[in-house]
Amino acid sequence: MRPLHVVILAAGQGSRMKSALPKVLHKIAGLPMLHHVIGTARRLGAENIHGVIGHGADLVRAETQGDDLQWVLQEQQLGTGHAVAQTLPNLPDNARVLVLYGDVPLIRTDTLQQLVAGIDDQTLGLLTVTLDNPDGYGRILRDGAGEVTAIVEQKDATAEQKLICEVNTGILAVSAARLKSWLPQLSNRNAQGEYYLTDIIAMAVGESMAVRVNQPENPYEVQGVNNRLQLAELERWFQRQEADRLMTEGATLADPGRVDVRGKLTIGNDILIDINVVFEGEVELADGVSIGPGCVIRDSRIAAGAVIHAHSIVDGAEVGVAAQVGPFARLRPGTRLAADTKVGNFVETKKAIVGEGSKISHLSYVGDASLGRNVNVGAGTITCNYDGVNKFQTVIGDGVFVGSNTALVAPVTVAEGATIGAGSTITRDINARELAVARGRQRNLADWARPEKKS
């Protein structure tokens, strides 16, 4: 099979975005548009990806990594044909070339697979779409037999041609050898004074090549982004597809329009996701997991039957089987909750290992700590893990009972079965089954006369 090379045009300024950021770095589902396209090119098995950059080139390059990427600078944007021509020296003669666009982010891999599969030395593949309103697009011209003969740009089209509703998506596939012979012949004698890539269609027909047309399943696949309204429109389409996938795979969504997936979400069966939940990075939800409204779940694994109650943030954490988290909990990176644990409201954890059956139910901070099984951490408990310079560990054994409003000044170890009296500030290790009380002793003074207001 001849190698596939993908050219991605991304040199335009995108002035209608009204942004300091190059257009192709604006994000859909948390990922720059250009990265969506690069991901698609990789899934197609591209040997090399040629990015044509111009406006914001340094930033685009800095934000985009990969050994398979080759950048070419198009100093002046003289047209799509001129843009592709910049990559010719880097294209092997035997390559098949697919042209994509950095601002057409949601083109599907299988649509392109079909397009590319249909081409050979004698066949050019063209992706078109039929629109109710074709305004602004290049129109597809066909002869009496229905064969494509050329593309005419809107600004060069006659009134009659403007009635054609089949338009050019800009996406096409053809052999590198043909591109190398055609692109140097392009002229810019047209309404826009540009070198049009679209003119190669008539050249192909002139050389008796076949033009094979494919269409995407959904027009959103080939919709470009010129402003933030179109960006939002594609974001919603993307998210609706993710929602549909989740429902198909076994999740009940309280509202498919109010869940956002910005990354890779893997789910089991019988998942419940309430409204306004955001998933970021790589997240796995096992069977029977339930996520309450307003949660943010990032780079985490949540085991079967666990419940994340409303307005919790779970970030870089592992949540064990049937664990209960929140409402209003914040699990920070390095948190590992074993099975049947509970982390309740207004509790923050960080690098905290929590053993099976342990509970931190209210208003606590547990950081750089490891807790055994069946530990009960009372309300208002703080691990004082930081002296302003260094972080220290708190180690708590199985079955420890930590009274409310305890400060554990790390490094400190509380051995199994120990009990800490409420309001203690613990600065020394506690042995197994000891009671530690570290607070001022209560004094009651009899017949205390309160001060009276002076008249």
Catalytic residue numbers read 362
51 binds ligand UD1 (CB under 6 A): no
Among 5, 6, 12, 408, binds ligand UD1 (CB under 6 A): 12
225 binds ligand UD1 (CB under 6 A): no
Note whether 129 binds ligand UD1 by CB under 6 A.
Answer: no
Nearest approach in angstroms of CB 187 to ligand UD1 is 13
9 scored as a contact of ligand UD1 (CB under 6 A):
yes
Among 99, 103, 60, smallest CA distance to 81 is for: 99
Q: Does 52 bind ligand UD1 (CB under 6 A)?
A: yes
Torsion of CA 114, 116, 118, 120, to 10 degrees: -170
Region binding ligand UD1 by CB under 6 A among candidate stretches 78-86, 363-371, 382-390, 410-418: 78-86
79 binds ligand UD1 (CB under 6 A): yes
Cα–Cα distance, 355 to 372 (Å, whole number): 5
Stretch that binds ligand UD1, among 43-51, 98-106, 274-282, 410-418 (CB under 6 A): 98-106
Query: For residues 288 and 250, what is the distance between their CA atoms, to the nearest angstrom?
Result: 10
The one among 29, 83, 116, 273 contacting ligand UD1 by CB under 6 A:
83
215 near ligand UD1, judged by CB under 6 A = no
Min dist. Cβ of residue 192 to ligand UD1 (A): 8
Residue 290 exposed, middle or buried by CB count within 10 Å (0-12, 13-18, 19+): middle
Residue ranges in 364-403 that form contacts with ligand UD1 under rule CB under 6 A: none
Residue 170 touching ligand UD1 (CB under 6 A): yes
Q: What share of the chain is helix, strand, coil (3-state, %, to 5)?
A: 20, 35, 45
Per CB under 6 A, does 357 bind ligand UD1?
no
Residue 21 interacting with ligand UD1 (CB under 6 A):
no
Distance CA 327, CA 239 (A): 25
In one letter, which amino acid is 255?
D
Q: Where are the strands (E) in 236-378, listed by range? A: 251-253, 259-267, 271-273, 277-285, 290-291, 296-298, 301-302, 307-308, 313-315, 318-319, 324-325, 330-331, 336-337, 342-345, 348-354, 359-362, 365-371, 376-377
Q: Binders of ligand UD1 among 179-198, rule CB under 6 A?
A: 196-198
Should residue 48 be labelled a site residue for ligand UD1 when binding is judged by CB under 6 A?
no
